[in-house]
A and B are shown apart, each in its own frame.
Chain A
Amino acid sequence: MSIITDDVRRALVTYVIKFVGDTRPIGKKAAQKFVHLVEDAGKVQTGYDFTIYTYGPFSRALDSELDSLNSLKAITVTYDKNRSSFEIGPGEDADKIISRGDAYISENKSAIDRILSALKGKSGLDLELYSTLIFLKSHIDDLNTDSEVVDKLLSIKPKYQRNVVERTLVEAKSLMLA
């Protein structure tokens, strides 16, 4: 059974946003991918269930949590009309919210930081590729070999090139193994 309480879950998401969005805000999709990667690549339970769509792994509960964290001033979610996208960064009460999950975050800090450091600054498209490959490796029952994973990814996301997918899979596997 998941041991994640509301406070811990919110602290963890706020920690992730602060880590990757401290100098430059990130988008809503990127926030989804970072939390997913902490869960499936870092093997740190986040308390969210992700489902795969054409745009990669996505959690509805996390989507609404971002709004709630905005109300709690843990993060800021602002809409940039010029770029037609949401921008997310740490809020004025981020540290207060993070402190409520201190014990859990400290316990898993090395795994969380390792994933976030490795992927911070990557484009949304790159994060989507990492996140989808790691989701396929972690959750889809009938994929036994690397080439099956690559084929499956290309079948559901034809926008990527095979050589890019193959190269990213090698890196994704190393992230999962470390």
Chain B
Amino acid sequence: MSRLNRPLTLAALLVVLVNALILGGVALNRRAPPDATLILSERELAPTAANSFYFGNDENSGLTLRLRWAVLPAAVAGQEFSDPWSAGWGPAAWLDRKKLAALGFDVAVKPDERAASRYAERMQAREVLLVLEMNGDAYQSALQQIRSRATQAAATAAADTLDARLVGAAQRLREAARRLERDGTRLYVVDAGLDAAALRGRYPDRARYAIVHGSVQPQLEGRGAARELFGRVADVHCADLSVPVKLRVPLPPQPLRYDDRGHPFQVMVAFGRRLEPWVVAASRTAANDDD
């Protein structure tokens, strides 16, 4: 090997080595049996609507589906119940001070305004393991809460039918409950930890619970003396699932839209030994005609 060609030879070795490591990692992840296998539907898998380039068009023939996940919102004093559809961005009910401490966060925050503000500025997201629950207690609890609030609002509005604000609020909650029941994702992030084996010990049902990599971030909720420390799920990694060409036939024609419910489908997603997901099977299901 001449001195002149040494960097290029090393570059070739680097290409081979890197690809061997990546593909070896994929093989290791996908070695049977998988860590978990979930059956998801169009309610839990959405097109990456924000970026049409990455979701099927003339310039991109690939198909990528994004996991839609939610968290059961924390009941923060002085705040209304949050809609779980968007709760992925808000504080999670289970991600309290104790849990944050167990995840290694500094939870010693003084109650005064200045210290709290400084704490909020300094706290950054940290990588953890998250537990995804499919159609379990978290979803049922979210459904129950919103139904109960809708019923309550309807009763309040019925007592004073002249108050348009109350009637409107009752209508909005009824619609939110209906959306959650029919279209809302049933995939909830229900726990976090640092040890995959310990989490699997707590959630042994591999057809309902998957463990994935993600990140959480502490945040202060409420004001003054009612201020509480919660965490939010900042991100679920590997949330974009590439669909292999042979599994795309049962899936709806492109492009899908976020609210496209005319083509219901089911996708079996496996989570491997490195907790990375992949699409195993896909099938078309009967359309829901309750609209």
Are A and B part of the same complex?
no
Residues of A near any B CB (own CB < 8 A): none
Give the interface of B toward A (CB within 8 A): none
